[in-house]
Amino acid sequence: MKKIYIKTWGCQMNEYDSSMITTILQKTKKYSLTESAEKSDILILNTCSIREKAQEKVFHQLGRWKKIKNNNPSVIIAVGGCVATQEGKEIFKRANYVDIIFGTQTLHKLPQMISEVETSRKLSIDISFPKLEKFKYSLESKKKGYTANISIMEGCNKYCSFCIVPYTRGREISRPCDDILFEISILAKQGVREINLLGQNVNAYKGSTFNRKICYFSELIRLVAEIDGIDRIRFTTSNPREFTDDIIDVYKDTPKLVSFLHLPVQSGSNKILNLMKRSYTIEDYKSIVNKLIIARPNIQISSDFIVGFPGESEIDFQQTMLFIKNINFDMSFSFIYSKRPGTPASKMKDDVDLEEKKKRLYILQDRINIQTMLWSRKMFGTIQSILVEGVSDKNIMELYGRTENNRIVTFKGSPNTIGQFVNVKIKKVHTHSLKGELLQK
């Protein structure tokens, strides 16, 4: 059997895709996974194009792999994911030792593409968008562990001015509802207890059912909650524009849905949101949060922020800081704005000085960290339901798991509890992690 090595960058969707690549190749019984690039026959790079200089990061990695190929010319190098979809044959022009370029929707064609390269030793490229073909292979995947990411839809129709996703993942397309439920049922039988529903714009889900009706996102969550063995549900990532009242209602009647929500806002300034083409206002966002708090009083919110977007003045930034304080966000993913090739924002004048961007990012992240710690301190002395995921990497005498609000908790306990939900009393608090004491039933 030939050895395959997969390096994955980017979001949970990319992680999900890489798990499908592994399943697809192993199913042929020709390949097995290795953790050593140097010992691999096939090197696969699954890329992400969200951050600045994503292409250069790819070529730096390929340069390192070129040395492996120089020592063993029979090694096959494949590049996939968002950068591959975005750049296409340009990758081969800069790195002519690459053998395969595949897209976000064509990873299921890898066995055929590998065979073509082995026969012809010529570049094989397919970055087309054949819709949902790849997902039939997800139903055959086997999961190790007790949590699982499930992709329910791909793509985005929003075309925010800064975002490359619609160009690399395509337009929104939802998987059939029954396929998703079947996949989750299989995972539940394998021991999975927590599901994270994935999509670039997950709350826009509109999947077909067996009787040709439409299943909306709110209904899908309730159906997942009915599956035996699944006791906790998360989803990521959402767009405020489509966070409708029917989704908020799920928080009222579906306790398996966690009291934690990641809802990207990007800026606290309506002027900047308009330039970003986000199609909602700060007032809209506040309304959603207020409704959520009524539906689930203990809910915590995290978000995304872009700092230094073209046209962002000091006043705009201060509006963002005030907004962060008013909403009292628990956590955030925050970044300095960077141009993505081909997006409308890349044509705007990038008029915020880099040092000013760094300064603003530091101020924002410092404020978020303070709020994160304050939220963590509120958990001191509370009893938390923890899904025990395994033995702690830092101390083999301890176990670890996650709270609903995504804190890792370490505690002493029996390995027999791994894969189960247990009650843990929080005894020590750090910003992003906690220590606890297992309560006996």
Binding site residue list: 11, 48, 82, 156, 160, 163
405 — phi, psi (to 5°)? -95, 25
- Residue 195: which of 249, 245, 143 has the closest Cα? 143
The residue type found at 198 is L
- Alpha-carbon distance 109 to 127, whole Å? 10
- Alpha-carbon distance 409 to 434, whole Å? 5
Secondary structure, 3-state, the chain: CEEEEEEECCCHHHHHHHHHHHHHHHHCCCEEECCCCCCCCEEEEEECCCCCCHHHHHHHHHHHHHHHHHHCCCCEEEEEEHHHHHHCCHHHHHCCCCCEEECCCCHHHHHHHHHHHHHHCCCEEECCCCCCHHHHHHHHCCCCCCEEEEECEECCCCCCCCCCHHHHCCCCEECCHHHHHHHHHHHHHCCCCEEEEECCCHHHCEEECCCCCEEEHHHHHHHHHCCCCCCEEEEECCCHHHCCHHHHHHHHHCCCECCEEECCCECCCHHHHHHHCCCCCHHHHHHHHHHHHHHCCCCEEEEEEEECCCCCCHHHHHHHHHHHHHHCCCEEEEEECCCCCCCHHHHCCCCCCHHHHHHHHHHHHHHHHHHHHHHHHCCCCCEEEEEEEEECCCCCCCEEEECCCCCEEEECCCHHHCCCEEEEEEEEECCCEEEEEECCC
- Alpha-carbon distance 299 to 308, whole Å? 29
* Feature table: binding site for [4Fe-4S] cluster: 11, 48, 82, 156, 160, 163
Contact of 75 with 110, CB cutoff 8 Å: no
Contact of 205 with 217, CB cutoff 8 Å: yes
